[in-house]
Structure 1
Amino acid sequence: MKASKIYFTMLILCSLMFSCTKLNEDLYSELEDAGSVSKSVDDLLTSAYSTLNGPYQQDNRWALQEITTDEAMAPTRGGDWDDNGIHRALHLHLWNADNSYMANTFNGLGNAIFQGSNVLRFKPSVQQAAEAKFIRSLAMFDMLDLWDQVPYRESLESFKTPPSVLKGQEAIDFIIKDINDAMGALPDKTEAYVANKNAARVLLMKLYLNKGAFLNRQAPTFSKEDMNKVIALAKEITASGEYSVSAPGHYFDNFAPNNDKISTENIFTLYNENGVRGGSVDRTWNTVAHYNMLPGGWNGWCTLSDFYDKFQSSDERRGIYYDYPADTTSNRKKDYHRQNVGFFAGQQYNWTTNKPLMARNPSTAPLVFTPEVTLRTSGATLETAGIRPMKYAYDYSSTGQKNNDWVVYRYSDVLLMEAEAILRGGDGTAIEALALVNKIRINRGVLPLTALTLDNLLDERGRELYWEGWRRQDLIRFGKFLEAWQEKPADASANTLLFAIPAQQVASNPNLTQNPGF
C-alpha cells in the first residue's frame, strides 16, 4: 500500500478520535523524505473537498437541516424506515445525544475542518492554502449553525490534548477572518467545484445574515451594518457577470448530470464523476423512489402536503418533463414525456411501456402518491403515502457514480438573501427587494408578487431552495422553527434550536459542553 493511502486512513482516524500516534508522525516524515510533498498537497486538498460529501449529499447534515422541518419527512412505513426511531425523532424535535445523524454529521464536519487545516502543514501554494481555508470555514459555519460549538486545533503538531472549542462571536470572528484571509488568493473564475471568490462571498453572506440568529436563536436581531454587508457582497457577485437566473424551462439545469457545463447559477458544488470521485448523489433518488420505479428506490422520504401546496400548478419547480441527454429511457426516446423531476404526486408511470405503475404489495393497487401522509404509515397507504421530491435528474447514462455535481451555493439564493437583507433594514427599497424576488419567479413560470413581506419571502425561499439543505436555518432565522406543523406539535422547549452534541464527543473532549436540555 502506498504511504499516502496509509496516511489518509490515519487522518480520518485522527479526526474522529482526536488523537494520533507516533506512527502518524513517522508517515509525515516519510512523505517529506520521499520528496512527495507537492503531490501530497494536491491529494490532501482533494481529500479535504471529498470530506464534504458525507455531510452534504442528502445525508447527515442534509437530514438535520431538512427532516427537522415542514419540508421533509422520513415516515416509518410498517417495519421499514424505523431505525430505532431516529427519523421520527428528527421530525418531532425529540432527538437526544445518541442520534446517529448527529454523530455522523459532527464527525464528518470535524473531519472536514481537520483535513482543511492539515493541507496548510505541507507547504501548499497560496491558492491551495486559500481553498483549504474555504473548506475549513464552510465546515465550521455548519458546526456553528448546528451546535454553536466548533472544535478546532490551532496546531496539528501534537494530539496529546483535545481540541479547543470556539463558540458564538469567537467562532464568527474566526470564520470571517479565515474567509477574508483566503479571499485574495481564491480564483475569480473557475469550475464551480473549486473554491472561488464568489463562493467565499456567499459564505460571508450567510454568516452575516444568520449572525443575529447564531448569537440569539430564540430572538434574532439583524443589525443594519450586517445587512449592508450582505447586500454589498451580493452586488459584488452580480457584478462579476458570471451568473444569471436560469431561463424559463431550465431550472433543473442546475441539478442535471451535466450541471457543471449547463448551469448558469451554480457558484459552489461538490464534484461527482463516475470513475473519478464523488459522493452519494443517487441518494436523492433512492431515498424517495418506489421499488417499482425506474430505477427502483427504497420507498422512503417525502414532503408534506402543506409545503407542496405552496406551489402554483404552473411553477416549473413543482415538476416538469425535463429533456436531458442522460435520460436514456423510452420516456425520452419514444416521446412519452412523463414528469421526471420535481414533486411526484398522483399516478406514476412505467417509462418503458408508458403504462400506469402498480404498487408492490398488493400488486393490484395503482401506484398513486397521495398528499396525505402520517409519521407512521400502515395498511393500504404503506407504499403510496406522501409526495416524493426528486430534484436531481437521474443519470441513466452512468451505471456507477452519478455525474450530477451536488449544489451547495446558487445565484438565486444570493438574490433572495439580498432581498431579505433589504427587508431587514439594509440599504435599499422595498421595490428593489421585490424586483430581486420577481426576477426569479418570472423565470419559474409564476406571476410576480405585488408586495414582499418576510412571510412570503420565506415561502419563496422554500419554493426555490427546497431540499437543498437550508430550510431549518431559514425557519430559525424567521422565528418559525419552534412552531407546530404537519405531524409535529409546537416544541416544548427552545432547546431544540440547537442539536445535542454526540455523547461520545462530549466524553472524549472535556472542552465540549453538552447543549441545554440534552
Structure 2
Amino acid sequence: MKKSKFNFVYVIITAFVFVSCESDLDITPENPQVFLSDEFFATENAYKKGLAGVYGNLALTGTDGPSSSNIGGVDAGTSQYGRCLWYLQNLATDEAIWSYENDEGVRDLQRNIWTSDNAIIRGMYSRAMFHVALTNEYLRQTTSSKLSSRGVTDPTLLADIEDYRNEMKAMRALAYYHLMDMFGKAAFNTEEQPVAVAGVQYTRQQLFEFIETDLINLIPSLKAPRTNESGRLDQAFARMILAKMYLNAEVYIGQNRYQDCMNQCESIINGGYVLELNYLDNFKADNDTSTEMIFAIQSDGVVTQNFGPTTVMINGSVGSLEQNGISLGVGAGGWGGAIRLRKQFVEKFNGSEFDFDIRKTISGGGQRTLDILDINNRNQGYILSKYSNVSSSGINGSNSTFVDTDFPLFRLADVYLMYAEAQMRKDGATNGSSTANVSSTSLGYINALRERANDGNFANVSTSQVTLDFILDERSRELHWEAHRRQDLIRFGKYSGGIYNWAWKGNAPGGIAIPTFRNLYPIPQLSLVANPNLTQNTGY
C-alpha cells in the first residue's frame, strides 16, 4: 500500500532526526548548528530531506516512534498537528464525542468548558508555532548567499530549491491560517528575524493581511494544480487557504469578501480536479489517488506510524457492541468504542431522501441508543464508519493499528459548497433568513454532490430548497469529521449562544448556551509566560 510514497515518506523520517525543540515555551529548532545547518546540507539531497522534514511535521510528533514528541512537556497524542486540529474543529462540536474522558484535555474540550491550561489546545498552538519555526529556518538556510557559500551552483538544484522555498512559505501560511482561525492571534516571526527571538503579537487583521499578501504573491511561482509530487502542495493549496479566509472574512476582519472567495473557488475548480466517483473512496487506505484531493496529511502504517486523525478516527469508530473493526481494516475491537456520534449530527440524515445516501455510514439501534446520557457508557450514541483502513479494491492497509489512510485537509467537494455559500451571501442571503437565492451554477455544484452520494439524481434539490441553513447542514453531511465544523458553526452564528444546542454543549446532557468568547480558543498559559508580547483572549 502507498508504494508510490515510500521514498518521499522515508526522507520525512530522515529529516526529522534533525528536528528537536528547545522547550514547549519557545517553539524553535533546538540547535541551528545541527538542524538545517551547513553540516546538514553537506549533500545535495539534503535540501529535499529538509523540505520533507517540514511536511512531516503535519503527521509526525517525534523521532522515536509514534509515542514520542519533539515538543517538550506535551504528549504525542495531544501534539500531533492533524489530530489536534480534528479535536478542536470537530470534537468540540455536534459531530462526535470521545468516550475516555480521562485522556488529558478531552473532557473540558468536548464539553466546551476548556481553560488556557488545556493540553490539546496547548498542543495545537505549540505544533502550529513549531511549524512556523521550521519553515522560517528552512528559508534562512536556503538564501542565495547561503547557497553560494556552500558552492551550490547546479541550475537544476537551484531551481528545485526555489520551488522548495515557495512551498515552505505556503506551509507557513497554513499554520498561521489555523492560528488565526482558532486563536485569533499569534506570535509572529518570519525568516527575517533571528532564531529564538520572541515574536510580536499579530492580531487577526494583521495575520489575515500577511497570509493573503504572501499567498497571492506566491501562487504564480507554485506548481500548477495536480502537477507536483504526491504529498506536496501546489497552487490549489494556496487558493484553498485564500478561499476559506475570504468565506470567513466577516468573522475574521468584519469584511465581505464573498466575490473573492468565489474567484478562488473557480480557479480551483478549473484546475483539473474531478469528484471521485465513489464518495467513500476519499476516506480509504489508497485515498492518495483520489481525483478530488487537493491536499492531505499523509499517513502510512509502516513508515509514518503516528496517532494522527485517521488512526484515531478509524480505531475509534469501532463500536463497543458491534466489534466491527475487521471491516474497517483494524483490530476487531478497535479502541473499544472510543468515538460516538452526538444525536444532532445523526439527525442531519433524517428523512427518506437519505435512505440510500452513501454518506450516511451511521449505525445504531437495538442496544445502542441514540441519546448519550452517560459519556462513559460506550453503548450509548450511534457510531460512524466513514473512514477505513481498507483500499478501494478491498485490500487491508499495511498495519492493523496505524492506518494508511491520509487525512483529507482540502478536497473539491468543499470548494463546491464554499462557492454556493459565498454566492448566496454575496447576493443577499444572511444567517437566520429563509432566502433561497442559489444560482444555477451553485445548484449544479450542490446536486453534483447529491448525485454522487446517491448514485443517481433522485436526491437532487431544487432552488426553493436551498437556504443558508440547508448549506450548513449539507456541509455537515458531506464534510463531517474533516476539521471544518467549528468554523462553519461560528460563521453561521450557531456555535456560541443558545440558537443551536447539541448534546453536552456547555457541559449539559441536552446542551446549553455557551458564551461568545468561546468562539476563540485561549492562548496557552505557558505560551503567555514564555512570550511577554502575547496577551490572552477575552474571557480567559
Question: Secondary structure in 2 aligned to 1:59?
Answer: helix
Cα 1:56/1:100, change in 2 over 3 Å: closer
Report which stretch shifted further, 387-396 or 273-282: 273-282
CA contact (8 A) 1:152 1:164 kept: yes
1:376 alignment partner in structure 2: 375
Cα 1:287/1:274, change in 2 over 3 Å: closer
Structure 1: unaligned runs, 5 residues or longer: 216-220, 320-342, 348-367
Q: Matched residues in 2 for 1:6 and 1:394: separation?
A: 25
CA contact (8 A) 1:37 1:122 kept: no
**Equivalent AA in structure 1 for residue 103 of structure 2:** D
Alignment of 1:18 with 2:18, yes or no, is no
CA contact (8 A) 1:259 1:405 kept: yes
2:92 alignment partner in structure 1: 68
Question: Once superposed, what is the RMSD of the aligned Cα atoms?
Answer: 2.7
**Equivalent AA in structure 1 for residue 313 of structure 2:** T
Deviations 1:136-169 (A, max 9, x none): 1111100001101122223476345312221121
Alignment of 1:297 with 2:334, yes or no, is yes
1:271 alignment partner in structure 2: 298
> Which one of the candidate residues 53, 56, 65 is aligned to 1:50?
56
2:241 alignment partner in structure 1: 203
Q: CA deviation at 1:197?
A: 0.7
Question: Secondary structure in 2 aligned to 1:187?
Answer: coil
CA contact (8 A) 2:101 2:107 kept: no
Q: Matched residues in 2 for 1:35 and 1:373: separation?
A: 55
1:433 alignment partner in structure 2: 442
Q: Matched residues in 2 for 1:460 and 1:231: separation?
A: 18
Q: CA deviation at 1:426?
A: 5.4
**Equivalent AA in structure 1 for residue 477 of structure 2:** R
Q: Matched residues in 2 for 1:186 and 1:97: separation?
A: 37
1:315 alignment partner in structure 2: 357
Q: Matched residues in 1 for 2:18 and 2:161: separation?
A: 24
1:512 alignment partner in structure 2: 534
Q: CA deviation at 1:430?
A: 2.9
Q: CA deviation at 1:288?
A: 2.9
Deviations 1:85-129 (A, max 9, x none): x33322332110111110111111111111122221222712101
Cα 1:95/1:193, change in 2 over 3 Å: same
Deviations 1:227-262 (A, max 9, x none): 11111111112222x222232xx101111111122x
Q: CA deviation at 1:486?
A: 2.2
Q: CA deviation at 1:404?
A: 1.6
Cα 1:7/1:45, change in 2 over 3 Å: closer
1:407 alignment partner in structure 2: 408
Cα 1:190/1:94, change in 2 over 3 Å: same
Give the fraction of aligned pairs with identical amino acids, expressed as a percent.
26
Q: Matched residues in 2 for 1:384 and 1:413: separation?
A: 32
CA contact (8 A) 1:205 1:229 kept: yes
Q: Which has the higher contact order (CA 8 A, sep 6+)?
A: 1
1:353-392 equivalence runs, <5 A: 368-377=367-376, 382-392=377-387
2:258 alignment partner in structure 1: 227
Question: Secondary structure in 1 aligned to 2:410?
Answer: strand
Q: CA deviation at 1:57?
A: 6.8
Q: Matched residues in 2 for 1:89 and 1:34: separation?
A: 42
Q: Matched residues in 2 for 1:278 and 1:176: separation?
A: 34
CA contact (8 A) 2:316 2:338 kept: yes
1:107 alignment partner in structure 2: 126
Q: Matched residues in 2 for 1:7 and 1:251: separation?
A: 35
2:313 alignment partner in structure 1: 284
2:389 alignment partner in structure 1: 394
> Which one of the candidate residues 240, 252, 268 is aligned to 1:237?
268
Alignment of 1:81 with 2:101, yes or no, is yes
Report which stretch shifted further, 306-315 or 282-291: 282-291
**Equivalent AA in structure 2 for residue 470 of structure 1:** H
Q: Matched residues in 2 for 1:135 and 1:144: separation?
A: 14
Q: CA deviation at 1:11?
A: 4.3
Cα 1:285/1:506, change in 2 over 3 Å: same
Deviations 1:462-507 (A, max 9, x none): 0000000100000000110013222223334211011111111111
Question: Secondary structure in 2 aligned to 1:504?
Answer: helix
Q: Matched residues in 2 for 1:234 and 1:24: separation?
A: 41
1:317-336 equivalence runs, <5 A: 317-319=359-361
Alignment of 1:255 with 2:283, yes or no, is yes
Cα 1:120/1:480, change in 2 over 3 Å: same
Cα 1:251/1:15, change in 2 over 3 Å: farther
Q: Matched residues in 2 for 1:149 and 1:48: separation?
A: 22
2:203 alignment partner in structure 1: 167
Cα 1:20/1:474, change in 2 over 3 Å: closer
Structure 2: unaligned runs, 5 residues or longer: 1-11, 61-78, 143-159, 326-330, 391-395, 429-436, 506-510
Q: Matched residues in 2 for 1:152 and 1:494: separation?
A: 26
1:151 alignment partner in structure 2: 187
**Equivalent AA in structure 1 for residue 488 of structure 2:** D
Q: Matched residues in 2 for 1:384 and 1:28: separation?
A: 48
**Number of equivalences:** 450
The TM-score normalised by the length of structure 1 is 0.80
Q: CA deviation at 1:429?
A: 5.5
CA contact (8 A) 2:183 2:523 kept: yes
Q: Matched residues in 2 for 1:72 and 1:393: separation?
A: 17
1:40 alignment partner in structure 2: 46
Q: Matched residues in 2 for 1:235 and 1:6: separation?
A: 38
Q: CA deviation at 1:265?
A: 1.1
CA contact (8 A) 2:343 2:502 kept: no
The TM-score normalised by the length of structure 2 is 0.77
Question: Secondary structure in 2 aligned to 1:26?
Answer: coil
Q: Matched residues in 1 for 2:521 and 2:168: separation?
A: 27
CA contact (8 A) 1:68 1:472 kept: yes
**Equivalent AA in structure 2 for residue 503 of structure 1:** Q
Q: Matched residues in 2 for 1:156 and 1:12: separation?
A: 21
2:34 alignment partner in structure 1: 27
Q: Matched residues in 2 for 1:440 and 1:429: separation?
A: 15
Alignment of 1:212 with 2:229, yes or no, is no
**Equivalent AA in structure 2 for residue 51 of structure 1:** N
> Which one of the candidate residues 119, 127, 147 is aligned to 2:163?
127
Alignment of 1:448 with 2:470, yes or no, is no
CA contact (8 A) 2:112 2:514 kept: no
